Structure 1
Amino acid sequence: MPLKNRNEIVTNWLPRYTGEKLKNFGEYILLTNFANYVEKFAKWNNVPVVGKDKPFQCATAGNITIINFGMGSPGAATIMDLLSAIKPKAALFLGKCGGLKKRNKIGDLILPIAAIRGEGTSNDYFPPEVPALPAFALQKAISTTARDYKVDYWTGTVYTTNRRVWEHDDAFKKYLTKIRAYAVDMETATIFTVGFYNHIPTGALLLVSDQPMVAEGVKTAESDKKVTSSYVDNHIKIGIDSLKQLINNGLTVRHLRYL
């Protein structure tokens, strides 16, 4: 039968993209760009990874589902649209980013208070002047959990771009310095914006995986392995426990009325 409206499309496409039935998704979502994040979550909770042959792999334990939506703002917009089929209570993005300040070290965490919409994808949802903001109650839960782990973090603005290979571009790097962003990534602004469009409270916790403003800080296969072995476990665990804090306390993270 033909899909007649938006709701029918996302209801059909979320299982098609993930291989998971709608009824099996948790009410709280972890989003990631990395298959190993899903695999670790599944191993720790003794649950299967679903959709290994699909565009978006996922795993569900309790009331939390983790989804790997791939890399970039188009994928981020797609998963945020598709999640409207289940109307999750919160979606938390666990991403990696490039640190733009000398004080940012590899392995540091950044809790974005806003994102700059440099990717273009989010312009299909709101005019460019609409800011990309997280649900602050969700960011507060992340902050509390990080403190419980005795982990420090930076707060600031992240610049989201669709460009992947720009580390050689001095003009673009000067622009990043001028706008005073703390970090650069390819998804956060899109997730915040499209989440807001779909009435899904969203947040993000970013792991500094490289320092692209200097040649010796550009990510390599070897450096990425070191980040994964040293910092990824804590990144995922803080994300899980942040959502559990909301679940166990029965807190709502919706901070705005959608008009």
Structure 2
Amino acid sequence: ADIFDLPDLTVMDDSIANGTYEPADGVMPLASFTAPRVDYSLHRLQHYTATAAEHFQNYVLFTNYQFYIDEFCRMSQDLLADPDSGYEAFVSPGNLVTMAGDSEPCSGAEPAKLPQMPAYHLKRANGSGITMVNIGVGPSNAKTITDHIAVLRPHVWLMLGHCAGLRNSQTLGDYVLAHGYVRDDNVLNQDLPVWVPIPPLAEVQVALEDAVAETTGYDGYELKRVMRTGTVVSLDNRNWELWDQPELVKRFSQSRAIALDMESATIAANGFRFRVPYGTLLCISDKPLHGELKLPGMATDFYKRQVAQHLKIGIKAMEKMRDMTAERLHSRKLRSFAETAFQ
């Protein structure tokens, strides 16, 4: 202890961000995170993603499938080859940095094994590129990674993943734009009570809807046919299909839910908690309530068809939000009564 500066957990909580901080002697905090909390998260990012915090960009995509990461790597190479895109480098786990125009990394080392939540960074000047993280399955991972990325103060994060469709009118491959959440994930209840509503953010919603319209070529009724806006349920039990079905159906109906996953509500709630603009665009991969279960053959064929379009929509939405001013994107809906001086 005389040699090493050990972490002090008493100054590493999230009471400032949570709005529960009690100032001593009238001294108010300048920022949402203490210095030890920031330092802790910077080291955790390297641990969980196998990339240094310096590579993270201000526009962050989360996914729950490796298929999306594979496609992001492919699209990134195409964007790097376009001199008008402004993208300068691609970084993968092990801090492998490949500059635009190069075919091999100029620095870094291939990790012996992939980390728990590998991150990939399509870098642009001033951090205006796109980071994509495969968070795997479940709300615990979703909370863990957003807890740590939040200290970097990104401009927006989005969830692009797969979900179960809950309505008979939906078909596999349809999109779900979340405008509300049922928080049955149970990982943020102590930090953000479940009675706190998580509002949709107009700037993010419009960017996502416009990106879907431009990518699919649909508008009006045709757009509504392939993309439905509504409430998403996020659960902490992957085998929810084994629960009492009448009770489930009643609960889904009362909440007006249209889709179900395990991560989206957590990511949105942590965005709300940490004042990071958030959004969710999911793609329906199965409909358990209607007998369309996710089976190996069905899933593989579906992923190949739909992943590229879904990711293209996500990247287009990010580029639209990048063209907005930061003041416009960081919505007033995220501000509490007493905000810190530095956001």
Give the TM-score normalised by the residue count of structure 2: 0.71
Residue equivalent to 1:58: 119
Match of 1:236 in 2: 311
Q: Counterparts of 2:188 and 2:330 in 1: how far apart (Å)?
A: 20
> How far apart are residue 249 of structure 1 and its match?
4.0
Indicate yes or no: 2:55 matched with 1:24.
Answer: yes
Instruction: Look up the match of 1:110.
Output: 176
Q: Secondary structure at the match of 1:230?
A: helix
Q: Distance in 1 between the 2:304 and 2:67 partners? A: 11
User: Is this contact kept in 2: 1:134–1:192, CA < 8 A?
Assistant: no
1:206 counterpart letter in structure 2? L
Unaligned stretches of 5+ residues in structure 2:
13-36, 78-89, 95-112, 124-128, 337-343
Residues 1:50 and 1:135: Cα distance change in structure 2 (over 3 Å): farther
Residue identity opposite 1:79 in structure 2: I
Match of 2:297 in 1: 222
1:100 aligned onto 2:166: yes
CA–CA separation in structure 2 for the residues paired with 1:17 and 1:23? 14
**Structure 1: where are the runs of 5+ without partners?**
none
How far is the alpha carbon of 1:132 from its aligned partner?
2.4
What code does the residue aligned with 1:84 have?
A
Q: C-alpha distance in 2, partners of 1:16/1:168?
A: 35
State the alpha-carbon separation in 2 of the partners of residues 130 and 69 from structure 1: 25
Deviations 1:208-255 (A, max 9, x none): 11101023x111111211220111111001001100111134454221
Find the aligned partners of 1:10 and 1:3 in 2 and give their Cα distance.
12
Q: Does 1:205 align with 2:281?
A: yes
2:67·2:307 contact (CA, 8 Å) conserved in 1?
no
State the Cα distance separating 1:178 from its structure 2 match: 3.3
Deviation at 1:120, TM superposition (A): 1.2
Q: Paired residue for 1:174, among 243, 250, 254?
A: 250
Whether 1:155 and 2:229 are equivalent positions in the alignment is yes
1:49 aligns to 2:92 (yes or no):
yes
SS at match of 1:121: coil
Report if the CA contact (8 A) 1:42-1:60 is conserved: no
C-alpha displacement of 1:162: 0.9
Conservation of the 8 A alpha-carbon contact between 2:71 and 2:307: no
Show CA shifts across 1:116-136 (max 9, x none): 111211212211211123433
Aligned residue pairs total 258
8 Å Cα contact 1:57/1:68 also seen in 2: yes
Given that residues 159 and 184 in structure 1 are in contact (C-alpha distance below 8 angstroms), is that contact kept between their aligned partners in structure 2?
Answer: yes
The TM-score with structure 1 as length reference comes to 0.93
Moved more, 44-53 or 190-199: 44-53
Question: Which residue is equivalent to 2:263?
Answer: 187
Q: 1-side partners of 2:322 and 2:7: how far apart?
A: 34
Q: Is the 8 A contact 1:38 1:49 kept in 2?
A: no
Larger deviation, residues 153-162 vs 249-258:
249-258
CA distance in structure 2 between the aligned counterparts of 1:124 and 1:194, rounded to whole angstroms: 12
Give, in angstroms, the shift of residue 28 of structure 1.
0.6
What is the rounded CA distance, in whole Å, between the counterparts of 2:325 and 2:194 in structure 1? 34
Separation in structure 2 between the aligned mates of residue 226 and residue 173 of structure 1, nearest angstrom: 29
In the alignment, the residues of structure 2 paired with residue 224 and residue 115 of structure 1 have an alpha-carbon distance, to the nearest angstrom, of 25
Task: Report the counterpart of residue 258 of structure 1 in structure 2.
Answer: 335
- Using the TM superposition, give the Cα deviation of residue 168 of structure 1 relative to its aligned residue in structure 2, in angstroms: 3.5
Check the 8 A contact 2:176/2:228 in 1, yes or no.
Answer: yes
What amino acid is the match of 2:61?
A: L
Q: Give the distance between the partners of 1:83 and 1:134, measured in 2 at CA.
A: 21
> In 2, distance between residues paired with 1:239 and 1:233?
10
Q: What SS does the aligned partner of 1:132 have?
A: coil
Q: Which residue of 2 aligns with 1:89?
A: 155
| 1:40 maps to 2:71 | yes
**2: distance between equivalents of 1:234 and 1:137?**
21
Q: Provide the alpha-carbon RMSD of the alignment.
A: 1.7
Inter-partner Cα distance in structure 1 for 2:323 and 2:240: 43
